[in-house]
Amino acid sequence: MVSDAYPPIEAYGVVGNLETCALVGPDGSIDWFPFPHLESPSIVAAVLDAERGGRFRIAPTGSFETDRRYVDDTNVLETTFRTDGGTATLTDFLPPADRTDHPKKVLYRKLACADGGVDLAIEFEPQFDYGRAAATIDRVDGGILADGEDERTLLEFPAAADLEIRDGGDAAPSRVTGTLSLEAGEVAWFLLRCTGAEDANTDPDAALDETVQFWTGWAHDCGPEADCVFAGPWHDAIVRSELVLKLLTHAESGGIAAAPTTSLPEDIGGVRNWDYRFNWLRDAGFTVQALMNLGTADEATDYFDWFMDLCQVDDPASIQPLYGLHGDSDLEERELDHFEGYRGSSPVRIGNGAADQRQHDTFGELLLAVDEMRRHGRELDADEWDRIRAIVDYVSEIWTDPDAGIWEVRGGDRRFVFSKAMCWAALDRGLAIATDGDHDAPAEAWQATRERIRADALENGYDADLGAFVQSYGSTALDATALLLPIVGFLPFEDDRVQGTIEAIDDRLVDDGDGIFVQRYDGDDGLPGEEGAFVLCSCWLIDALALSGRLEEARARFETLLSYLNPLGLIAEELDSESGAHLGNFPQAFSHVGIVNSALYLGYARGLETPGPAPMGIRLGEPIPGDD
């Protein structure tokens, strides 16, 4: 399979219904659509195998150019095809779950010809259960029914479309192909009705109107006169990031997926391909900060309540680093050997073995989230405090143990400096929460343990010869997580060890002259191959510079980073430092969280007011030093 069969990762747009998402390529092809939920098997997955994955494509029959945009402040995607004969726009959306009067299990595709005439080709090739289910395709009343054992779809199409079912026989799967011709002013609808919505009453125009109204009514809108902390040339990018985070939030549980995709590679042709359709608890603290400052308090509260429920266990040792969006704990990692992977990147994985790892940093990040909600006025009840106290007590017992760390290395557990710092943060925030809420806690014991952790990390995690914090005890590798040490309060920004670490990371982990391609670390992680620069780490470096008083430098780097957003405002997990191509799963929630928080820190440093308490890393009453 040649790589030309796969669009660049950054060429995709995404639509969804707050339960699942679909990737839409620049050629009008839906190449990824798990159903009914993000973690579910796919109906089409051409992004993972161009021949066997399946797709739903609507595009001009001849050559064309493409323009794409989201309807303002929505997740409704418009793809405009410009041909020699005319112009037509394809509008893709799913009604948000339980937010409109229209069924959430229908994928709508509207075609509207603006001028001239456009001949379009239609190709629908469903491959249920990641292409593993035996599927039948038949013409029935109301459309074409594809039955894939556990799931099925009914393709409803306009009468003017000339569609036929092609039997692939033993060599290829069956598929639906055909054509449709539109003239100026004509509109045609294709509806992909999924399991449970085959007979649902639908009004496509009303569904589109209500979906647009939902998104525009929800999205951040500070008004032209407001003193918005996100004000600046990047304001629209922040609103798009907010819309991405909402799109990845499950309507029922409040859990937020790390990404809507699996196995998009961090290294083209390599093995660094992971399933990210789950929620990592370590994302909690900075995600809550982003959501609260965006004004989406309901989403922050739903997410908080969701992960607090996950912590309702007899033994904190059983708390996993990640869960399914319904709280599922069984995320067994398996490989789909029949898929070649995006551009030959294999294996294709479903599930994630990191769920079984020990990641001690998770507990600190959970306490950061709880403390963030406390600072925004959320009070803990007695039962919630019991859960938090049990976590802090557990951290007091295990902080000396090695773990897999935030990056989930597969080369064996180590004593990661960041894990130690986050154990410190768990004790530190636990004490703050107990004091503020007048909760019963062994304060003296926690204080003593907190200081032991700090002393241990300072003694074993800082390399005086390098003038920087290292990745793990006994190592000389650098890790971008050290940029977070002052943000979580482990040391102040003006500390020479912090400033030395920022300089060392800028020198060794940054791959470009503009200073935005930041590697996660430069040590061995037990896997072959190399990966791209990690977008979130770029944001952390920008934050560290801004909060160190290097505001103009931070701003310049931030604006350069934003130039790598795709034309729709989306960004993946990583960037190729040579080409700028996107790598890894897409769009990546934590990348967009990082962008929101970097804008937040830059706004605060510029003197703009936040809607709530000062962001993490800013000590009240002390101004951020200026560039001079």
All residues at 6 or more sequence positions from 578 whose CB lies less than 8 Å from its CB, including other chains:
none
For β-strands 175-183 and 106-125, DSSP reports them as antiparallel
All residues at 6 or more sequence positions from 438 whose CB lies less than 8 Å from its CB, including other chains:
none
> Sign of the C-alpha dihedral, residues 343, 344, 349, 350?
positive
Give the pLDDT confidence of 117-170 residue by residue, as tens digits.
999 999 999 999 999 998 899 999 999 999 998 999 999 999 999 999 988 766
CATH 2.70.98.10 intervals, the chain: 3-218
CB 354 within 8 A of CB 332: no
Report the distance separating Cα 92 and Cα 208, nearest Å: 9
pLDDT for 417 = 98
Token pair of 307, please? 């992960």
pLDDT for 1 = 32
Token pair of 7, please? 């669009």
> pLDDT-derived band of residue 225, with 50, 70 and 90 as boundaries?
low
Token pair of 577, please? 């430092």
Report the distance separating Cα 452 and Cα 446, nearest Å: 10
CATH 1.50.10.10 intervals, the chain: 235-605
Closest CA to 155 of 119, 194, 182: 194
Region 551-559 average pLDDT: 96
Region 229-258 average pLDDT: 95
Q: What is the 3-state secondary structure (H, E, C) of 545-600?
A: HHHCCCHHHHHHHHHHHHCCCCCCCCCCCEECCCCCCEECCCCCHHHHHHHHHHHH
Give the pLDDT confidence of 568-579 residue by residue, as tens digits.
999 999 999 999
Asked whether the predicted pLDDT for residue 294 surpasses 50, the reply is yes
Say yes or no: domain 3-218 is CATH 2.70.98.10.
Answer: yes
pLDDT for 564 = 98
Report the distance separating Cα 26 and Cα 82, nearest Å: 12
Give the CB-side neighbour count of residue 263, counting CA atoms within 13 A.
29
pLDDT for 169 = 66
pLDDT for 627 = 45
Token pair of 224, please? 């032209």
For β-strands 106-125 and 162-166, DSSP reports them as unpaired
Q: How buried is 399 (Cβ within 10 angstroms: 0-12 exposed, 13-18 middle, 19+ buried)?
A: buried
Give the pLDDT confidence of 2-34 residue by residue, as tens digits.
347 899 999 999 999 999 999 999 999 999 999
Say yes or no: domain 235-605 is CATH 1.50.10.10.
Answer: yes
Region 377-383 average pLDDT: 94
pLDDT for 170 = 61
Does residue 66 sit in helix, strand or coil?
strand
Query: Percentage of the chain surpassing pLDDT 70?
Result: 97
Token pair of 264, please? 């998009």
> pLDDT-derived band of residue 173, with 50, 70 and 90 as boundaries?
low
Q: Calculate the CA 285 to chain-centre distance.
A: 15
Find residue 178's DSSP bridge partners: 122, 163
All residues at 6 or more sequence positions from 570 whose CB lies less than 8 Å from its CB, including other chains:
10, 12, 13, 14, 240, 244, 586, 587
Region 517-544 average pLDDT: 92
> pLDDT-derived band of residue 223, with 50, 70 and 90 as boundaries?
low
All residues at 6 or more sequence positions from 339 whose CB lies less than 8 Å from its CB, including other chains:
45, 48, 49, 52, 53, 130, 131, 346, 348
pLDDT for 2 = 36
CB 74 within 8 A of CB 216: yes
Token pair of 589, please? 């929630």
Find residue 166's DSSP bridge partners: 175
- Buried b / exposed e over 445-461, threshold 16 CB at 10 Å, is ebeebbeebbebbeeeb
pTM: 0.96
If you compute the radius of gyration of the chain from its CA atoms, what whole number of angstroms results?
25
> pLDDT-derived band of residue 203, with 50, 70 and 90 as boundaries?
very high
Asked whether the predicted pLDDT for residue 563 surpasses 60, the reply is yes
CB 522 within 8 A of CB 510: no
Range 485-488, long-range pairs (CB < 8 A, 24+ positions): 485/418, 485/421, 486/544, 486/547, 486/617, 487/540, 487/543, 487/544, 487/547, 487/616, 487/617, 488/364, 488/368, 488/421, 488/422, 488/425, 488/616, 488/617
Asked whether the predicted pLDDT for residue 620 surpasses 70, the reply is no
For β-strands 143-148 and 151-156, DSSP reports them as antiparallel
Q: What CA–CA distances, in Å, run from 255 to 250, 295, 298, 474, 580?
A: 5, 18, 13, 37, 30
Asked whether the predicted pLDDT for residue 628 surpasses 50, the reply is no
Range 157-160, long-range pairs (CB < 8 A, 24+ positions): 157/122, 157/190, 157/191, 158/188, 158/189, 158/190, 160/188
Closest CA to 20 of 105, 108, 130, 127: 105
Asked whether the predicted pLDDT for residue 507 surpasses 50, the reply is yes
Report the distance separating Cα 604 and Cα 241, nearest Å: 19
Report the distance separating Cα 271 and Cα 521, nearest Å: 18
CB 14 within 8 A of CB 247: yes
pLDDT for 621 = 45
